[in-house]
Structure 1
Amino acid sequence: MASPPGSSHFHERKTMSASTWRRPSVVIRAVAVTSVLAMALAACGGGRSDTPSGGGSSNSGAIDTAACPTDPAKATVTGDTITLGTSLPLSGIYSAFKGILDGETAYIDYLNKDLGGVEVNGKKYQIKLEVKDDAYAAEKTVANVQSLIDSNVFGLFNVVGTKNNLAIRDQVNEDCVPNLLAATGSPAWGNSKYPWLLGTFLVPYPNEMKALVDYLKVNEPKATIAVLRANDDFGGAYSDTLTSLVKGTDLKVVKVVGYDPETPDTKSQITTLAATNADVLVIGGTLLACPDALKNVAASGWKPTTYMSGTCTSKTLMAIAGDAGNDVLTVLPLMDPS
C-alpha cells in the first residue's frame, strides 16, 4: 500500500500553536479525498472494481474479484452523485470525534459547491456522505456498515477506530466494497488479504514508537519507560511495538498498565506508573484519557519525559490539559516539501 503524502516528525507540544500543527493535516485530507476517490472509481470502471478479488489480491497488486457477490466490472454509478457512507462516534464519551465529521462535511461542501464536484474520467460527480453513529462500539459499526452496504453506497469513507475497522474488514472484503481512508493507524492495515481497505494519513502507531525509540537512543539512551495504554487493539499497537523495539538496547520498559477505554479516568493507573519513577511515560490512549493522564501526572509530582499518542494532538484536548501538556512529545503528519 502506498505511503500517504506526508512524513512524521516529533514535536514538543508547547513549541507550536494549534494552527501551525493542524493545518498540514487539512491539506493532506483534501488531497487524499480527491485522489483516493478518483483512484477507486478509475479502478472500478465507475463501479467497485474491474480487475479480476473476492477478498484477496494477486502478487501483481491486482484485486481478484472472482468471489465478489456481483461482477464489479458491470457496476456503474448512475446519475451524477457518488454516495459514500461512514460510521463514527457521535454520542457517548468518544463523541469528540465528531470534529472529524465536521471537517469532512466542510470539505465535501467545498468540493460540491466551489469546485463543482470531483472529476473522474472527464465527468463531474457530486459527493454525498451518509453518516451513522456507532458510539465507538464495534458491534454498532458492523450493523451500520451492513445498513450502508444494503443501501448501495459506492464505498465507505473514514470509518473511525481500530477495533471498528477490524470488526468490518471481513464484511467489506466479502461484499467487495471499498473502505477508503480508514481512520486508524493500526499495523493491521496493508494486509494484502484485505485489499478493499485503504488506510488514512494518520501516522501508523508502530511508526510513532519507532520515532520515540530513535529519539531516546540519542537523548536518553538508558531510560526506563512506563506505559499507559488503552485495553484494546489500539493501545496494544503502542505497548507491543515498544516492547519489541527496545530489545537489544539499553532502554527498558519497566511497567505497562492498561485503562478501560470506555472511561477516561486514569488516576489509579498513573499513580501506579508514577511509583516506578520511570524516566519516560508513553501514553497510548486517545481522546479524554490523554488530558486526564497528563493532569494526573502533573498532580503526582512525577516528571518523566512524556510521549503522547498522535491521535490526541487536538486543540480541544490540549486545552483541557492546560499547562500539564507543556513539553509533551508527539507526532503529526506533514506535507513533504519536496
Structure 2
Amino acid sequence: MKRTASVLAVVLLAAGCSNGTSNSGGSSGNTPGVTDTEIVVGTHMPLTGPAAAGYSKIAPATKAYFDYVNANGGVNGRKITYKIMDDGYNPANTQTVVRQLVLQDKVFAILNGLGTPTHTGVLDFLKTNRVPDLFVASGSRSWNQPEKYPDTFGFNPDYTVEGKILASYVKQEHAGKKVCFLGQDDDFGRDSLAGIENILGPVTAKQSYVTSNPNVGPQMGALKAAGCQVVMLATVPGFTALSIGTAAKIGFKPAFVVSNVGSDPTTLAKSLGPAAPLLEGVVAANYLPLANDTANPWIQLYTKVNTQYNNNAELDNNVVYGMSVGYLFVQALQAAGKDLTRDKIIQAVEKGGFTGPGLVPVRFSDKDHSGYAGEQLTTIKGGQAAYFGTPFTTDDGDGAVTASTAAPAVPPANGIPAS
C-alpha cells in the first residue's frame, strides 16, 4: 500500500481562498473557502491502493459535473473548485490529507470522503473545526449521528439497511440453504452483517478480511468447508473479485450476493480478466440509474458531461455515482442561498426535500443524516447489471422491508438544479 499521500491537483479555477477561520455562521464574506466568485471544497479518495479499482473514478466524475456547472455560470455566480487528495485507503494518510485540506487549503467543506475505516478517523477533527462533512462515500451508520456529529451526512444507503434488503431476497429465493458471510473487518462488514442477521438470524459461517492482505484463500476455504450454498459479501470491488475468483479456483460454487459498493460489473470484469464470466448471475443492489441504461435521462445527461468534461472515460456505475454526488451538492448550494455559510448549508441539507437520480428518496432531516433510504436488486446478465423487482426501503432497526412508492425524478432540461 502506498504510505505517502499524493495529491491530485484538481482545480477548476485559479486558487483564491478566503480567510482561514473556522467561522460557521456570519456571512459568506468571512466563511472559509468562499469568495464572491469561488467555492473551494475538498475530498479524500483512494486514487491508489487496495480500493482504487473503480473508486478512483468517482471524484474525477464529480469534478466533471462541477466543470459542467461552472461552464454554465456556476452557483449563484460562484464556480466550484474541487481539491482531490489521494489517501490510498490508508486511515493514517486520510488524517494527513484532511488536515491539509482544512488547515492549509481552507476548504468550505469536505465532500464525499470515501471509506469507512478512513473517514471514521477524521470525524472528530472535522467536528472540532466546524467543517461541513457532506455525503460521505460509505454506508456506515457512524455518519448518521446528528447529536454527536451535527455537520456529517451520509450518501449511500447504510449498510444495515442494505443488509436487510439483500437478506430479504435471500430468505425468499434461497430458503433452507446454508447462508454464509464474508465482510471487511470494520464497520462496513459489521453493519452489513447486523442487517443480514436481523432478517435471517445467525448465518452458518462468517469470515472477515483486511484490505492490507489480498489473500482470501483461507476465508473461502473455510466457507467451502462449512457447506455454504449462498455467500453474502460486504467487500470493496477488489475483494469481491478476489473472493469470486478464489472460490472458483478451489471448486467452490455458491450463489454470491454482493453489497452495492463492491458490485460494479465493469470494475469487477477488469479485475477478473478472463475469469469475468464468473460474474454471471451475481445478485447485488443499487439505488442510482445503471450506467448501461442509455434510455434513462440521467444517464443521457451524465454521458454528455462525461464526454465533454471527463475525457470520455468509460461510463460505469462509479462515474454515475460521482456525478450524482455532484448534482446533490449543487442542489444543497442552491438551497443554502447566495449568502453562503457553513451553517446555512447544514440547515439546507437538514431541510431536505431533494429529488434527483435516486430510485428511492434521501432521508435528510434534523434527526436523520443517513442519505438514501434503500435500494433495488440487480443481477448480472451478459456481463451487465440489470434491475429486477422494485425498490425497497427500510430502517437500520427492526422495521419492515417495504416497497418504495417514490417516483423517479427527471433532470432539468439543462442538467443543473434550479435555485
TM (normalized to structure 1)? 0.72
Change (3 A) 1:290 1:90: same
Taking the aligned partners of 1:319 and 1:190, their CA distance within structure 2 comes to 34
Which aligned pairs between 1:291-310 and structure 2 lie closer than 5 A?
Answer: 291-310=241-260
Aligned: 1:109 with 2:67: yes
Contact kept in structure 1, 2:180 and 2:230, CA below 8 Å: yes
Gaps of 5+ in 1: 1-45, 48-67
Give the aligned partner of residue 56 of structure 2. Answer: 98
Taking the aligned partners of 1:232 and 1:117, their CA distance within structure 2 comes to 39
The superposition leaves residues 69-107 of structure 1 with CA deviations (integer Å, 9 ceiling, x where unpaired) of: 645224343221000011111222222221112211211
Aligned: 1:323 with 2:323: no
Identity, in percent, stands at 27
Gaps of 5+ in 2: 1-17, 289-357, 360-406, 409-419
The structural deviation recorded for 1:183 is 0.5
Give the aligned partner of residue 80 of structure 2. Answer: 127
Aligned: 1:197 with 2:152: yes
The superposition leaves residues 125-168 of structure 1 with CA deviations (integer Å, 9 ceiling, x where unpaired) of: 10001121111111211121111111311111111101222111
Contact kept in structure 1, 2:42 and 2:109, CA below 8 Å: yes
2:43 pairs, out of 86, 108, 119, with 86
Contact kept in structure 2, 1:93 and 1:263, CA below 8 Å: no
The structural deviation recorded for 1:220 is 2.3
- The one-letter code matched in structure 2 to 1:257 is Q
More strand by share: 1
Change (3 A) 1:109 1:69: closer
1:214 pairs, out of 154, 163, 168, with 168
Aligned: 1:285 with 2:235: yes
SS where residue 165 of structure 1 aligns?
A: helix
Taking the aligned partners of 1:182 and 1:154, their CA distance within structure 2 comes to 15
Taking the aligned partners of 2:230 and 2:141, their CA distance within structure 1 comes to 23
Give the aligned partner of residue 267 of structure 1. Answer: 217
- The one-letter code matched in structure 2 to 1:98 is S
Give the aligned partner of residue 145 of structure 1. Answer: 98
TM (normalized to structure 2)? 0.59
- The one-letter code matched in structure 1 to 2:207 is V
Give the aligned partner of residue 23 of structure 1. Answer: none
Contact kept in structure 1, 2:127 and 2:151, CA below 8 Å: yes
Q: Aligned pairs, how many?
A: 264
Change (3 A) 1:236 1:300: same
Contact kept in structure 2, 1:81 and 1:125, CA below 8 Å: yes
Taking the aligned partners of 1:265 and 1:137, their CA distance within structure 2 comes to 18
Identify the structure with bigger relative contact order (alpha carbons < 8 Å, sequence gap 6+).
1
- The one-letter code matched in structure 2 to 1:304 is P
SS where residue 124 of structure 1 aligns?
A: coil
The superposition leaves residues 19-46 of structure 1 with CA deviations (integer Å, 9 ceiling, x where unpaired) of: xxxxxxxxxxxxxxxxxxxxxxxxxxx9
The structural deviation recorded for 1:242 is 2.2
SS where residue 40 of structure 2 aligns?
A: strand
Contact kept in structure 2, 1:203 and 1:332, CA below 8 Å: no
Taking the aligned partners of 1:203 and 1:129, their CA distance within structure 2 comes to 24
SS where residue 188 of structure 1 aligns?
A: helix
SS where residue 135 of structure 2 aligns?
A: strand
Contact kept in structure 2, 1:203 and 1:310, CA below 8 Å: no
The superposition leaves residues 275-311 of structure 1 with CA deviations (integer Å, 9 ceiling, x where unpaired) of: 1112210111112111111112223333322111211
Taking the aligned partners of 1:304 and 1:93, their CA distance within structure 2 comes to 25
Contact kept in structure 1, 2:166 and 2:285, CA below 8 Å: no
- The one-letter code matched in structure 2 to 1:198 is F
Give the aligned partner of residue 72 of structure 1. Answer: 25
Give the aligned partner of residue 192 of structure 2. Answer: 238
SS where residue 96 of structure 2 aligns?
A: helix
Give the aligned partner of residue 17 of structure 1. Answer: none
